[in-house]
Amino acid sequence: MKDSYVLLMIGNSRLHWAWFVGTTLQEAWDTNHLSVSAVKQRIERWISGIMPAEILPSRLIALHSSDASSLLPLYLASVVPSQTQLWQTYPAAKVITLDHLPLTGVYPTLGIDRALALLGAGETIGYPVLVIDAGTALTFTGANAQQQLVGGCIIPGLRLQLQSLAGGTAALPATQLSPQLPPRWAVETSAAIESGVVYTVLAGIRDFIEDWRRQFPDTQIAVTGGDSILLMTYLQTQYPETASQLISDPHLIFWGMHSVIQGASGICTNSV
């Protein structure tokens, strides 16, 4: 199908996919990381004209199967180098790096996921902008009106904090996050762990937002990431005024990738 392409953001926990036709996001989905042999097998099938149903949606396969003469473009970005190498073996794969982004002031070790989400937010809702990404790590990343990186921070995400307590202690149990804001004053160990993690994270988010707003009163603030919906639910209960200032968009990274693709025709197919 003309102007159809796939985006792949390789995250720490999962593979994040999106399908665009021109400027329209058709669908977004997640899959688990795959082994070396599994990736090789799926890419071989893809090259032969059999699009892998395990990783691609049926609607995309149905539309593209009638035009098997050309490979579907795959644009990817990654925070997991070993996975990057696997997917680069697809002949029509093109890797997006920090060098392709129009943001200024970025430092070499800035995560491409953070940079793309920041770009995606700025291009869709405007600058200055602060992005709160609630993924495996909880990150804050901000840019000013000149599209210059101001800075940010990284802390363990909600689930990673729970996992670290269970894995790093002898007696503390594994704990799951409640779909609603938990009681602050717990009378049971699992609930106490959840309370401690959730309420300190929420207080930290509010503090970072307040400091950012003092510097950039006309800012936009966006929330994204796998736990963004849960985080917004908690914030709406605990700090409704803060929550009302936030724009939730789970696809900021894809909008950032889309912006790079539209504006940077110099992205080249990567050799492997």
Range of the domain at 145: 102-256
Counting the structural domains of the chain, the total is 2
Residues 78 and 199 in one domain: no
Indicate if 149 and 242 belong to the same structural domain.
yes
**Does 268 reside within a domain?**
no
Residue 267 lies in a domain: no
User: Does residue 263 fall inside a structural domain?
Assistant: no
How far is residue 12 from each of residues 26, 59, 78, 135, 236, measured CA to CA in Å? 24, 27, 9, 9, 28
Considering the domain architecture, whether residues 121 and 232 belong to the same structural domain is answered as yes
- At residue 67, the pLDDT reads 64
The reply to whether 108 and 86 lie within a common domain is no
What is the DSSP secondary-structure string of 39-71? Answer: HHHHHHHHHTT---TTTS-HHHHHHHGGGTTSP
Contact 183, 196 (CB under 8 A): no
Q: Are residues 27 and 139 in the same domain?
A: no
Helix, strand, or coil here: 81? helix
Are 20 and 151 contained in the same domain? no
Cα 66 to chain center, whole Å?
A: 31
123 and 204 together in one domain: yes
What CATH number is attached to the domain comprising 171? 3.30.420.40
* In-domain check, residue 271: no
Any domain includes 144: yes
Enumerate the active-site residues: 113
From the first residue on, what is the mean pLDDT of each consecutive set of 10 residues in the chain (272 residues)? 88 94 95 94 92 93 74 95 93 96 97 97 98 96 98 97 94 93 96 97 98 98 96 98 97 98 63 35
Domain co-membership, 45 together with 107: no
**pLDDT of the residue at 272:** 33
Please tell me whether residue 206 adopts helix, strand or coil conformation: helix
Q: Read off the amino acid at residue 173.
A: P
User: How much is the pLDDT for 18?
Assistant: 98
Same-domain check for residues 131 and 190: yes
- pLDDT value, residue 1: 55
114 domain residue, yes or no: yes
Residues 114, 143 share a domain: yes
What is the structure's pLDDT at 191?
Answer: 95
The pLDDT value recorded for residue 2 is: 67
Pick left, alpha or beta for residue 21 (phi over 0 → left; psi -120 to 50 → alpha; otherwise beta): beta
Pick from 139, 130, 154: nearest CA to 247: 130
pLDDT at 68: 58
Answer whether residue 212 is part of any domain.
yes
Tell me, what DSSP letter sits at residue 100?
G
